[in-house]
Chains A and B, each alone.
Chain A
């Protein structure tokens, strides 16, 4: 092992690093074994119920329509794009015509996406009639 660079100032850190990993691993294993051997295995019904700060656990009366997720996605898409428009608006004069054309292209691409989503029926609330 003559090519192992023991003189490296970080060698000690590396050794500690490895040892820490070993110690961490050993601790986890020991803790798991100990708890498995010594813990009281109590499967009382009350213990296993879901705890919800006092009141009874309520059941979701209806299923949430996946349409919500679609709307959330679309909202995110079009809302986050606004983030790009603020700096553009502030530096509008500085960017000049280049910035204008660039932003128009950007909005055009967004518009295409919007038309696509519209035509695909993503904006319609299918499940409620």
Chain B
């Protein structure tokens, strides 16, 4: 009892912190709510960190909740990624929060509720719980997207996301009803037992239900053809929310996708494989077109996040074909994408905090001479996102493509590599714009503060992830991350 309470203590902390921030939100007293929420997240992070590495798998309060919530090594790793992601997102936006008047206590309370929903999602071992957790996270994010209600773009983005997101949520419910009808349970273990006990061709209804669930999850990660909202919503949302959606929320979604398709629906892999391949091809090609056609950096990063989702779908497809090692490459890719995209968005948010302007490619002309250090770091993030060797993005793509080739998906891996070459166009376009134009503006320097230090940290992490293995033999390396992920995945079986 006490041990189980200890296991869910991080989640309880987050909820209590969110409630506290909610109640404090009307207070005028000067209070650094950003740092307070970071502190709460850090406490939960520390508590979760103490469990990292020990193999465990416990159903929380099994007598009361059935087997709907699980705490295992897998969820622990994902909790750490979600908490760390939210923490870094809040910290890197420190200047941005100060420069805008509309970030009050409610904002941070909503962020914490969203983080709670994401954590619950990685713990869900039952589809209704998964749905509720998904909705807790989604509803908070809907509100966050439209948080700057003075900005019509922000309101439009919220409306789009709410309407399309609720539709996707309804599809999840429909799929769930079909799965329940087919198997008589919504608990993942019971569904797996049902699949194992019946012949392969007796699962039509279950597969249709599974497809509906899949549609919802792929809508949320923004895979083509469910991507119509991505660019507008990412553009309309305040930058911190865009970062939260693009990186942390995606991590949580892959937690539940991996749990469902790796553990319990794995036996039906043959049926998932073909639609996943089609989705991969569509997502990679459609996302590239989306990213190529943008003139705004925020929109370009939003479009390219669709392509990155496509790379991870390649690995997911390799999993359905039986190459379970590919799941580690998804985890590694999530981390590498998180580091590079949060860094790039962080620079945008830093500039938006200090120089009020719309950040298009035009604005970046001569940026390399007016802001030499920031431009250098931006180049690192762009290289990493494009998957240039010696950055963490390269290793992430490398693991994904080798995983796909091991599973026999050579055509898909080749398409992935081709799309990575295409992505060099729009990432290097920014680098070229920064360095190939003169600027009348004088050189500007910024001192060290929370935001700049974190941007620097992200840049160092991108490089360390790429070549750290060779340079620093005594420090933890990307291999250690892979080892950690492998360890976490084993707790699913």
Contact = CB atoms under 8 A, between A and B. Distances in A.
Interface stretch (B18-26, B119-127, B150-158): B18-26
B64 A119 contact: no
A98 B65 CA distance: 13
Contacts of A109: 19
Interface string A114-129: 0110011000000000
Nearest to B22: A116
A98 B64 contact: yes
Nearest to A113: B22
A116 B20 CA distance: 10
A119 B19 CA distance: 14
B64 A115 contact: no
A112 interface: yes
Nearest to A120: B26
A120 B19 CA distance: 14
B148 to A, nearest CB: 18
A98 B26 CA distance: 34
A16 to B, nearest CB: 19
B64 A112 contact: no
Interface string B81-102: 0000000000000000000000
Contacts of A112: 19, 22-23
B35 to A, nearest CB: 22
A112 B109 CA distance: 13
Contacts of B64: 98
Contacts of A120: 25-26
Contacts of B26: 119-120
A109 B15 CA distance: 10
A119 B26 CA distance: 7
A112 B18 CA distance: 11
Contacts of B19: 109, 112
Contacts of A98: 64
A98 B25 CA distance: 32
Interface in B4-57: 19, 22-23, 25-26
A98 B61 CA distance: 12
Interface string A10-47: 00000000000000000000000000000000000000
Interface in A89-118: 98, 109, 112, 115-116
B142 to A, nearest CB: 16
Nearest to A118: B26
A119 to B, nearest CB: 4
A117 to B, nearest CB: 10
Nearest to A108: B19
A115 B26 CA distance: 11
Pick from A98, A109, A116 the residue with the most CB of B within 10 Å.
A116
Contacts of B22: 112, 116
A115 B19 CA distance: 11
Contacts of B23: 112, 115-116, 119
B67 to A, nearest CB: 18
Nearest to B18: A112
Nearest to B109: A116
B195 to A, nearest CB: 22
B491 to A, nearest CB: 29
Interface in B371-404: none
A95 B81 CA distance: 38
A116 B23 CA distance: 6
A102 to B, nearest CB: 9
A128 B64 CA distance: 49
A119 B23 CA distance: 8
A98 B23 CA distance: 27
A116 B106 CA distance: 10
A17 to B, nearest CB: 15
Contacts of A119: 23, 26
A124 to B, nearest CB: 13
Nearest to A102: B64
A10 to B, nearest CB: 10
A16 B136 CA distance: 42
A109 B25 CA distance: 17
A75 to B, nearest CB: 20
B225 to A, nearest CB: 21
B196 to A, nearest CB: 25
A98 B19 CA distance: 23
Nearest to B19: A112
11 contacts: A98-B64, A109-B19, A112-B19, A112-B23, A115-B23, A116-B22, A116-B23, A116-B25, A119-B23, A119-B26, A120-B25
Interface of A: 98, 109, 112, 115-116, 119-120
Given A112-B23, A119-B26, A120-B26, 10 more contacts: A98-B64, A109-B19, A112-B19, A112-B22, A115-B23, A116-B22, A116-B23, A116-B25, A119-B23, A120-B25
The 6 closest A-B pairs by CB, nearest first: A119-B26, A112-B19, A116-B22, A120-B26, A116-B23, A115-B23
